[in-house]
Chains A and B, each alone.
Chain A
């Protein structure tokens, strides 16, 4: 079953603009992670945010987590053409095991 759901499914912006992607999930979680995937390649881990954290930064990335709304957002500031990729959130939670559940992803296209 798919727990994480990204929104929007696709996003097209101009270089220099900010990109915001959202992720919603259904059950309680230990943590939430964001990944980037260039077309057909392996996933690259971007950032992890724990359930007791509300915001985290890494370079041009800013992640927020609202456990009351069961949602997270990934903000990429001053986007570059090289940011063009698919972005996924993944949750690991209290599901009786160490299962990881990924969302379907947001496809980001940054136009130069």
Chain B
């Protein structure tokens, strides 16, 4: 089954404790991206990747890092999480860049205390 998976689905952490949210897709997609969703703000793009070793900033990249060492994986790294990064995070992918992604992961709810 074609899917985008994220782990963990729920995470409670404390300020400053580094964390990684994994994202994996099984469709051999080139394009992957991360979004955060906050009430009243819709989804905002954090980072995207057009292929292996090619990443670029979205609209709200501050405080986040990503890497794309393999085509299927696109982890989101918070080196020093802060409370304003409490949000619902989505990973997404599509075959190629050039359009909003078609497949979304189930989301990761992050609470930073």
Contact = CB atoms under 8 A, between A and B. Distances in A.
Interface of A: 1-2, 4, 30-31, 33, 35, 40-45, 48, 88, 90-92, 97-105
Interface residues of B, number: 30
A102 B42 contact: yes
B100 A40 contact: no
13 contacts: A1-B59, A2-B42, A4-B42, A42-B106, A45-B101, A97-B48, A99-B45, A100-B45, A101-B45, A102-B35, A102-B43, A102-B44, A104-B40
Contacts, number: 74
B42 A45 contact: no
Contacts of B44: 2, 102
Q: Is the interface of B mostly helix, strand, loop or mixed?
A: strand
Interface of B: 4, 31, 33, 35, 40-45, 48, 50, 56, 58-59, 88, 90, 92, 97-107, 109
Contacts of A92: 98-100
